[in-house]
Amino acid sequence: MGLIRMAARTAVVAGTATAVSGAVARKQEEKHAGQQAAAAPAPAAAATDDTTAKLQQLAALHAQGVLTDDEFAAAKAKALGI
């Protein structure tokens, strides 16, 4: 009986350790996934590229005389979110 009891106790301890280990691993994965999502600079880079393209287009229109100085300044402020 002692051997069976020891084997059962070992199985319980091993099962508990596995469950705790799995819970800790899931918690760490969720934490890291949240940090990666928060630190993703790609959308900011895309927004910067769009803003740069818009400003270049506005500058070209201003240089061609299509936009006045005031119109260019207003459109530039709008593109920059000012």
pLDDT value for 42 = 61
- Chain mean pLDDT for the chain: 78
pLDDT value for 37 = 58
pLDDT value for 25 = 75
Taking only the tens place, the pLDDT of each residue in 40-60 is: 566 666 667 888 888 899 899
Half-sphere exposure of 46 (CA within 13 A, CB side): 4
Taking only the tens place, the pLDDT of each residue in 1-40 is: 577 777 667 766 666 767 667 777 788 888 877 766 555 5
Is 52 strand, coil or helix?
helix
Cα–Cα dist 73/77, whole Å: 6
Q: Where are the domains of the chain?
A: 1-40, 41-82
Cα–Cα dist 9/82, whole Å: 68
